[in-house]
Chain A
Amino acid sequence: MKKLFAMMLVVCMLLAGVSALADEPITIRVAHIGPTTGAAALYGLATLHGAEIAAAEINAGDGPYHIELINQDDEHNVEKVINAYNAALDAGAQMILGTTTSKPCEAAGAQGYIDRVFFLTPSASSTAVIEDKDNVFQICFTDPNQGLASAQYIAEHNLGTKVAVIYNNADVYSTGIRDTFVAEAAQRGLEIVSETTFTDETTDFTVQVADAQNNGAEIVFLPMYYTPASLILKTAADKDYQPIFFGVDGMDGILGLEGFDTSLAEGVMLLTPFVATSTDEHVVSFVNQYQAAYGEIPIQFAADAYDGIYILAAAAEKAGITAEMEPEEVCDLMIAAMQEITVDGITGSMTWDASGAVTKSPMAATIVNGEYVFED
C-alpha cells in the first residue's frame, strides 16, 4: 500500500513535471547589469539591447525555458555596481548577465563569490574578473589572450617588425591587452619602437601618432575601443602616416560609427570574434532585428550579450534550474553546467573550463572598401 502510494506520487510528480515542460516553460530571472547611463552607457546599452533581443527570441520560441530580464544600471562605477547587484537580487534575480565593464564586474563578482551568485559577463575581459572566483564566467576573450593572439598573428604573418603601441592607461581593458602584447612581442622578435598612452578624456592624439611616425613604426597596435581609434586614424591621415593599424575586438563598431569616413579605416586589421557585416545567417538575423529595434548596427558588446542569454538558457537547461531556486542553489548548478556545454553563438563556438575563461577562436579581419574581409 505504502509502495503503491509512493509510486503514484512519483507518477504524479513526473506527469506534473512533463506537463510543466510541455505547456508551461520555466521562467528564469536573469539580471542584466551594465552602465545604461553615464559615460560608458554606450556599452551597457549595447549589452542590454543584445540581451533583450535574445530574450525576446527565446520567449517567442517553444524551448523549455523563458527568460525574464531584469535590468540594473551600474553607471560603470565600482560603488554603484554593488547597489545594482543588490537591487537585482532584491528584485528576484537568480543569476546575473554582467556586468558589462571590467572593474565593476571585478567588484560585483567578488561580492557574488561571497554570496554565491552566478555571473556570466558578456564583455568584462580583464583576468581579475574571473581570478579567484569560481562563480564568474566570461563570453569574451580575456585581455591577455587578445594581446597574446595579436602579437602572434603579427609575427606569424610577417606584417612588420617595428611596432608602436598606443593604449589607454586609465583603462583596464587597454592596459591588460597591452601588457601581454608587449611581453609576447619581445618573445617573437618584434621591436616596440614607440609606446604612448592616453586617457578616457583624451581627444588630441597628435603626440602619440607623431611618436609612432617619427620612430618609424610599421605597425601601430591599438588595444582600445573604436572611439579613440577613430581619432587616431583621423590624426594619422592628417599626418600622412600610413602604417598597418592593428586593432582588437573593441575596434569593432568603427564602421558603424555614424558619420565616419570609412576610407580612414582602409587597411586596418583586427582580431575579433564578431563582425556585424558577416553573411552568417544567424548574424544577419541578429543584426537586422537589432537595427529594426534600436536603429543602430550592433557592436560586439551587443553580440556577446545576445550569445550570453542563449548560453544561460543552455546552461540552465543542463543544470535543471527551476523558477523557485534561490540564487545560491542556482550558482553551484550553473558552475557545473557551464563546464559541460558547448554553445555555437554569433561570436563563435564556445566552451568553458573551471577558471571561467572562454575558449573560442578569434578571426582576423582586414577592412577593405569599408567592409571586413576575412583571411583564412
Chain B
Amino acid sequence: MTQVKRRANTKMVPVQSDAIVPERDADKAPVLEARHLGIEFGGLKAVDDFNLTIGKTEIAGLIGPNGAGKTTVFNLITKVYEPTMGAVLINGRDTHGMNIVQASKLGIARTFQNIRLFDQMTVEENVRIGLHNQIKYNMFTGMLRLPGYWKQEKKQHERALELLHIFDMEKLADEQAGSLPYGAQRRLEIVRALATKPSLLLLDEPAAGMNPHETEELMENIAKIRDQFQIAILLIEHDMSLVMGVCEGICVLNFGRIIAKGTADEIQANPVVIEAYLGKKKEGQA
C-alpha cells in the first residue's frame, strides 16, 4: 500500500444498529441510508444486502476489487437501476419508484467512471447544465429573449465561473469539453455535479488516470469541497492513498456484499479485507 500522507482523524460513532457516521453529524439526519439494498441481473445478485449510512458532512469511501459491484451501488443510489430489494433513503425520503431526474432533485449528484461530459458543448455550458434546476427561466422567455432571459443567463454565467474557480478552470470556460485533457475532464465532471447543489456527491473513481501530484491536489480539493459546501461525499476509488487519506468511513465490497465497514485504520487492519484484495493465503505459506 502506498505511503499515506494524510489521514482523516475523525471519531466515528454508531447511530443505529451497525451504521456509523462522524461524530459531528451524529445529531443530524443522515444524507443517505441504504437498507438491505440489492439487485439481480438475470438471477445473478450483483449487489446483495447492502447497508450504508452516510452522515451529513461525511466523506465516505466505497472500495473493493474489480467487479465487486461498486458502480452498481452508485447506479442503485442514483436510480439508474431500480433496486429489486431494499430501499434507498435520501435525506430521509424513500426513493422507491423514482427516476434519475427525481433522485437528482432530491440532492444526489455524481460523476462517472467512464467520463460522461457533454462533449460537443463548452466547459461553461457543461456547468450550466448542472445549474439547470438552480437558475431557471422557461422556454418562451428564452425564445423571445425576454428580460428574464438576460438576467438569469448572467446569473448562470457568474455562478458557473464561480464553480469553475474551485479547480481554477475559469480560463477553460470556452473550450469544448470533449477536447480537454483527461484530468481536466474529470475535474469538470465534479464541478458540473457540484453545480446541481447536491447534498450528496458520488464520485466514481475521481483519481483514475491522474498522476500522484494531481491525485494529491484532488484529495485536498475533495476535502475543500466538503468544507466549503458542507455536503457529504461518497467515492469509489482504487487509489488507496486517496481513500485512506480523505475518507472518514470506508465500506468494502466484494462479490456484491459488504465485507467490512469502518475507519481507515480499522479497514487496513481487517484480515478479511486483506484477503479479498490479496487473495487467500495458502496454508503453510505463512
Q: Direct A–B touching in the complex (beta carbon < 8 Å)?
A: no
B interface residues, Cβ below 8 angstroms from A: none
A interface residues, Cβ below 8 angstroms from B: none
